[in-house]
Amino acid sequence: MALWTRASASPGTPVSAGAPDANIAAGAGAGAVARAGGAAGGCASAAGTGGARMASQAGAGVAAGASAKAGAGALAGAGASAGASAGAATGASAKAGAGAGAGAGATALLRAERLTKTYAASSRRGFGSARLTAVNEVSFEVARGETFGLVGESGCGKSTLAMLALRLIEPTSGALSYEGRDMLKMGFRELREIRRDMQVVFQDPYDSMNPRLTLEEVVAEPLRVHGRGGTKRSRRERVEKLFADVGLPAHLMGRYPHQLSGGQRQRLCIARAIALSPRLVVCDEAVSALDVSIQAQILNLLLDLKDEFGLTYMFISHNLAVVKFMSDRIGVMYFGRIVELAAKAELFGNVLHPYTLMLLSAMPSPVPGDSRGAERRAAITGGVPSLFSPPAGCVFHPRCRFREGVCEREEPPLRDMGGGHCVACHFAGEHGLPRLAEQFAV
Ligand SMILES: Nc1ncnc2c1ncn2[C@@H]1O[C@H](COP(=O)(O)OP(=O)(O)OP(=O)(O)O)[C@@H](O)[C@H]1O
Ligand code: SF4
Ligand SMILES: [Mg+2]
């Protein structure tokens, strides 16, 4: 059972909750990120391949998954076992990872290698300044046309990673490229040019809007700033089209942001984000502030827009259920690191990191009166340690029920357990986590 369903209806259509996974599969499947078989390893630069549909649209730059090379900085192979479902997949087939899809993958749109961000910050106890590492050697790729999900508890570094990925902040170390171009070497002009291609949707759109602008002006702003959209009249027509795309009635164009509901404001924010026809949209907690029913509308809108405009998403949320609904491939973050990364079906069908199991246990049961609620809550133990004093060894060990001596001494590397399923745990595959995860299946 799922909390959201993929509505094929037009944006704005209310969506009922509690429909079967088949619908989710259909939703995610539209992105059709089929994992090509082949190369494994190289989790330091864990990667997937692009969607078959997008790969063919992209035309150039398509590389066969099997030819992807492991090793430092290389594009690692795609998960053979973890195909995202094709559009018509059933829930069962989605869970089994029975992906239908072509085996070719596209060049990564965005690639991050060992990105690290440290901040000088006052420690909570006020003993002068200390350094905290918000993002620690994180590597990932976002393939054209896929939705790469990032999930983790508050403070684990998701937003910092998003800002690094867009180069809105500078990394302390690491590498970052967009379409193979080194983003860290780009000057102002080049960055400005690729930023048209990369847009972001935040949790609270109100914060990022000038309250004195009308809704029409808010959406027209990026067109004006980037010298797009032509004359005032043609800009207005473009804004009208964008309003229609996101399901906002045109008669609202003369209103102001404070006159909208939260859901309408998020639609407005999405209209602004797609105004410049970007390829990559980073959604950072884009639905977290909304009611569940409105969340469903916005998530479906994002999926519809992805289909219509061939968008690529980096979709960030602390809510695993939302990330599951949206993503083709998912990175699980803990304490500034990616601790597990796999295609969606593989991740949910074959949980290998205890922290992912913990997150899974926290997913609300969609079944009213589910007596396993207390059991679920009990599975969440401890809190996230202070970034000022990271635990030795595996950073998750203070909370891990499976820890052993080595966990307190040695940090586990992110290893490829097969088919691009990367896990940072000394005992990955040894504790029967997939079986334990079954009780939390949603
Ligand atoms: N400019 C900054 N200076 C110092 N510390 C920072 C700065 N920005 C973020 N941090 C710290 O880095 C850590 C990661 O923050 P970040 O906002 O990326 O987490 P998050 O996963 O997005 O959390 P949430 O789910 O609450 O949005 C936090 O401990 C935060 O306090
Ligand atoms: S390395 Fe040890 S402490 Fe860390 S997640 Fe694995 S079992 Fe738990
Ligand atoms: Mg955040």
Q: Take atom 29 of ligand 1 and give the residue whose Cα is closest.
A: 155
SS (H, E, C) 381-411: CCCCCCCCCCCCCCCCHHHCCCCCHHHHHCC
Higher pLDDT, 435 or 219: 219
| Under 8 Å between Cβ of 55 and 35 | no
Q: What is the pTM of this model?
A: 0.79
Round the average pLDDT of the chain to a whole number and report it. 77
| Under 8 Å between Cβ of 243 and 250 | yes
Atom of ligand 2 nearest to the CA of 426: 1
**Ligand 1 proximity of 120 Cβ (cutoff 6 Å):** no
Q: How remote is the CA of residue 426 from the centroid of ligand 2, in Å? A: 6
Choice among 205-209, 266-270, 346-350 with the minimum mean pLDDT = 205-209
Instruction: Give residue 212's Cα distance to chain centre.
Output: 32
Element containing residue 420 per DSSP (H, E): none
pLDDT score of 66: 29
Ligand nearest to the CA of 336: 1
Q: Whole-angstrom Cα distance, residue 258 to residue 153? A: 30
Q: How remote is the CA of residue 135 from the centroid of ligand 2, in Å? A: 19
User: How would residue 14 be classed by pLDDT, with cut points 50, 70 and 90?
Assistant: very low
Q: Take atom 1 of ligand 2 and give the residue whose Cα is closest.
A: 425
Choice among 55-69, 96-110, 265-279 with the minimum mean pLDDT = 55-69
**Ligand 1 proximity of 121 Cβ (cutoff 6 Å):** yes
Q: Take atom 3 of ligand 2 and give the residue whose Cα is closest.
A: 397
Ligand nearest to the CA of 161: 1
Ligand nearest to the CA of 357: 2
Confidence check: pLDDT of 162 > 90: yes
Q: What is the mean pLDDT of residues 348-362?
A: 92
User: How would residue 94 be classed by pLDDT, with cut points 50, 70 and 90?
Assistant: very low
| Cα–Cα nearest to 4, from 298, 205, 341 | 298
pLDDT score of 375: 56
| Cα–Cα nearest to 197, from 272, 268, 276 | 276
User: How would residue 254 be classed by pLDDT, with cut points 50, 70 and 90?
Assistant: very high
Q: Take atom 3 of ligand 1 and give the residue whose Cα is closest.
A: 119
Q: Whole-angstrom Cα distance, residue 245 to residue 304? A: 9
pLDDT score of 308: 95
User: How would residue 156 be classed by pLDDT, with cut points 50, 70 and 90?
Assistant: very high
Instruction: Say how many Å lie between the first and final Cα of the chain, rounded.
Output: 5
pLDDT digits (tens, 9 = 90+) for 327-346: 999 999 999 999 999 999 99
> Going edge to edge, which strands form the sheet with 173-178?
129-143, 108-122, 173-178, 181-182
pLDDT digits (tens, 9 = 90+) for 280-301: 999 999 999 899 889 999 999 9
Pocket test for ligand 1, best of 132, 138, 338, 388 (most atoms within 8 A of CB): 132
Confidence check: pLDDT of 228 > 60: yes
Choice among 80-89, 113-122, 166-175, 307-316 with the minimum mean pLDDT = 80-89
Torsion angle of alpha carbons 124, 125, 130, 136, nearest 10°?
-40
Confidence check: pLDDT of 103 > 50: no
**Ligand 1 proximity of 316 Cβ (cutoff 6 Å):** no
Pocket test for ligand 1, best of 160, 317, 319, 338 (most atoms within 8 A of CB): 160
Q: What is the mean pLDDT of residues 346-373?
A: 80
Ligand nearest to the CA of 160: 1
pLDDT digits (tens, 9 = 90+) for 179-225: 999 999 999 999 999 999 999 998 876 777 889 999 999 999 999 98
Atom of ligand 1 nearest to the CA of 387: 29
